[in-house]
């Protein structure tokens, strides 16, 4: 295995290793959502959600789709779905 792969995996784990980001990813795995819907679902200010989404997007974990003034987010890295399932004990 290349060192580059290990570094990427570690970077992904560090990035998702925050309770708010795990909750955001979990929501986005169900379906893509607008920032406002994520904030409402987590009872967090939009600015806080946007900061977390920005980091997740920068790391390639989520992607954004602009629809006029709104931005819809979804999970870009399906490997993250497996990590979340593992964390939740859903993988056998």
Q: Answer whether residue 92 shows pLDDT above 60.
A: no
Instruction: Print the domain residue range for 71.
Output: 3-88
Query: What's the pTM value of the predicted model, to 2 decimals?
Result: 0.87
* Number of structural domains in the chain: 1
- Per-residue pLDDT reduced to its tens digit, 23-67: 999 999 999 999 999 999 999 999 999 999 999 999 999 999 998
The full DSSP string for 69-86 is TEEEEEE--THHHHHHHH
Listed as own residue / partner, the contacts of 85-90 with beta carbons closer than 8 Å and 24 or more positions apart are 87/22
**CATH code, domain carrying 42:** 1.10.10.10
CB 8 within 8 A of CB 40: no
87 DSSP assignment: H
The dihedral formed by the CA atoms of 53, 56, 59 and 65, expressed in degrees to the nearest 10: -50
DSSP β-bridge partners for residue 65: 72
Q: Report the pLDDT value the prediction gives residue 4, as an integer from 0 to 100.
A: 75
């Amino acid at each position: 295995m290349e060192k580059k792969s290990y570094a990427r995996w570690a970077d992904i784990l560090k990035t998702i290793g925050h309770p708010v980001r795990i909750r955001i990813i979990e929501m986005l795995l169900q379906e893509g959502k607008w920032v406002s819907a994520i904030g409402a679902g987590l009872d967090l200010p939009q600015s806080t959600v946007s900061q977390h989404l920005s980091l997740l997007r920068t790391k390639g974990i989520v992607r954004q789709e602009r629809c006029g003034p709104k931005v819809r987010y979804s999970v870009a890295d399906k490997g993250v779905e497996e990590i979340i399932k593992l964390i939740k004990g859903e993988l056998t």
